[in-house]
Amino acid sequence: MIGSTIRRAAVLAVATVGLVGLTGIPALAKPSTTIDLRLIAINDFHGNLEPPAGSSGRVRLPDGTTVDAGGAAYLATHVKQLRTADSLVLSAGDNIGASPLASALFHDEPSIEFMNDIGVNASVVGNHEFDEGFKELQRMQFGGCHPTDGCQFRPRFKGADFPFLGANVYTDRGLPALLPFSVEFVRGVPVGIIGVTLKDLPSVVTPDAIKGLKFGDEVQAIDRTANLLDLFGVKAQVVVMHQGDNTDAAGPDDCKNVAGPARAIVEKASPKVDAFFTGHSHQQYNCVVNDPAGNPRPMIQGASFGRLLSVIDLKIDRRTRDVVRSATKAHNEIVTRNVTPDPTVAALVKDAVTKSAPIANRQVGTITADLVRSQAPSGESPLGDVLADGQLAGTASNNAVVAITNPGGIRSDLVFKSSPAGEGDGVVTYGEAFTVQPFSNIMQTVTLTGANLKNVLEQQWQPAGVKMLQISSSLHYSWSDSAPVGSKVSNITVNGTPVDPNGGYRVSVNNFLAAGGDGFAEFTKGTNLSGGPVDLDAFTAYLTAHPNLAPPALDRIVKTP
- Tens-place pLDDT, residues 267-285: 999 999 999 999 998 899 9
pLDDT 10s digits, 122-154: 999 999 999 999 999 999 999 999 999 999 999
pLDDT at 220: 98
CATH topology of domain 37-334: Purple Acid Phosphatase; chain A, domain 2 (3.60.21)
pLDDT at 1: 44
pLDDT 10s digits, 309-333: 999 999 999 999 999 999 999 999 9
Amino acid at the residue 191: V
Residue 490 CA to residue 317 CA, distance in Å, equals: 61
CATH topology of domain 363-560: 5'-nucleotidase;  domain 2 (3.90.780)
Residue 356 CA to residue 395 CA, distance in Å, equals: 29
| Confidence band for 3, pLDDT divided at 50, 70 and 90 | very low
Burial (CB < 10 A; 0-12, 13-18, 19+), residue 284, is: buried
pLDDT 10s digits, 385-427: 999 999 999 999 999 999 999 999 999 999 999 988 899 999 9
Query: Residue 121 half-sphere exposure, CB side, CA atoms within 13 Å?
Result: 22
pLDDT at 303: 95
Flag the least confident range among 72-81, 137-146, 164-173, 506-515: 506-515
pLDDT at 12: 40
Exposure pattern of 457-488 as b/e (b: 16+ CB <10 Å)?
bebbbeeeeebbbbbbbbbbbebeeeeeeeeb
Query: Residue 359 half-sphere exposure, CB side, CA atoms within 13 Å?
Result: 16
- For all residues of the chain together, what is the average pLDDT? 93
Does 69 score more than 50 pLDDT? Answer: yes
Residue 486 CA to residue 353 CA, distance in Å, equals: 47
Residue 289 CA to residue 262 CA, distance in Å, equals: 11
| Confidence band for 375, pLDDT divided at 50, 70 and 90 | very high
Give the helix/strand (H/E) hosting 213.
strand 213-215
pLDDT at 31: 57
Phi then psi dihedrals of residue 487, to 5 deg: -135, 35
pLDDT at 23: 39
| Confidence band for 9, pLDDT divided at 50, 70 and 90 | very low
Kindly list the domain boundaries of the chain, sorted by start residue. Answer: 37-334, 363-560
Burial (CB < 10 A; 0-12, 13-18, 19+), residue 2, is: middle
Q: Is the pTM of this model over 0.75?
A: yes
Return the axis-axis angle of helices 535-545 and 382-394, rounded to nearest 10°: 100
pLDDT at 25: 41
Could you tell me where the DSSP H helices lie in 91-216?
Answer: 101-104, 109-117, 134-142
pLDDT at 504: 97
Flag the least confident range among 22-36, 270-284, 447-461: 22-36
Residues of the chain above pLDDT 70, percent = 94
pLDDT at 2: 42
